[in-house]
Amino acid sequence: MELEQTLARDAEIALSKDRFSHVQGVVETAEQLASLHGVDRVSARLAAWLHDLAREWPEAKLEMEAEKIDVPKGFGAIPTLLHGPVAAHLGRTVYDIGDADILHAVTYHTTGSLGMGMLDKVLFLADTIEPGRRFPEVTAIRELSQVSLDDAMLLALDSSLKYLLAVKKQIFPLTVMVRNEYLEKVQKA
Ligand SMILES: [Fe+2]
Ligand SMILES: [Fe+2]
C-alpha cells in the first residue's frame, strides 16, 4: 500500500469520526495552501495525515511514549501538546518518514515555533482553517492565507491566544513568542 493510503487508513482507525473528518479537511486545505504558495504538495498531505494521529491517546499513554523521545522543552507541562512530537515519532518509526520538514511541522503544529518554515506554516494554518472549523476570525484567516501566510499566521495566533484566555486554558509560552515574532514581521512588511 502506498504511504499516504496507509496513513489515511490508520488515521481513520485511530480517530473518532469527527476528528477524522477534521484531518481530511486539513489534508485538503494543506494541499491547497501548498500549491498556492509553492510548497511540496505531497509533503503537505503526508504531514496533514500524520499530525493528529496520537490526538486521542490517553494522557498516560502520550506521556509514556514521550519519555522515549526528545520532546521540545516545556511540552510536558501541557500533556495535549505531546500529541505533535509523538505523531512525528510515529512518522519516523512506524511509517519510515525521514523528511525533517514534515516531522518538524507535525511536532510544532499546535504551538508554532520560532522561524517557522513554509511547510510549518501550511500545516499550522490548515489545522486552524480547514472547512470544519467555526470561530469568529476563521473567514478572515482563510482569506489572508490566500494572500500572505505571515499575515494569516498573526491573526491565527492572536485568535488562538484570545480563545485560550476566554476559556481559561493554559497558554504555552513558546506560542506567545511565536506570535510576537509574526507581529514584528507583519509590522515591518
Ligand atoms: Fe493536533
Ligand atoms: Fe488537527
Query: What pLDDT, on a 0 to 100 scale, did the predictor assign at position 189?
Result: 82
Domain ranges of the chain: 3-135
Per-residue pLDDT of 157-167, as tens digits, reads 999 999 999 99
Cα of 68 vs centre of ligand 2, distance in Å, is 23
Nearest listed ligand to the Cα of residue 56: 1
Cα of 188 vs centre of ligand 2, distance in Å, is 30
Q: Which burial class, exposed, middle or buried, applies to 184 when counting CB atoms under 10 A from its CB (0-12, 13-18, 19+)?
A: exposed
Cα of 127 vs centre of ligand 1, distance in Å, is 7
Cα of 189 vs centre of ligand 1, distance in Å, is 30
Nearest listed ligand to the Cα of residue 23: 2
Nearest listed ligand to the Cα of residue 24: 2
Q: Give the per-residue SS3 of the chain.
A: CCHHHHHHHHHHHHCCHHHHHHHHHHHHHHHHHHHHHCCCHHHHHHHHHHHCCCCCCCHHHHHHHHCCCCCCCCHHHCHHHHHHHHHHHHHHHCCCCCCHHHHHHHHCCCCCCCCCCHHHHHHHHHHHHCCCCCCCCHHHHHHHHCCCHHHHHHHHHHHHHHHHHHCCCCCCHHHHHHHHHHHHHHHHC
Q: Is the pTM of this model over 0.95?
A: yes
Cα of 188 vs centre of ligand 1, distance in Å, is 30
Per-residue pLDDT of 58-95, as tens digits, reads 999 999 999 999 999 999 999 999 999 999 999 999 99
Q: Is the domain 3-135 a CATH 1.10.760.10 member?
A: no
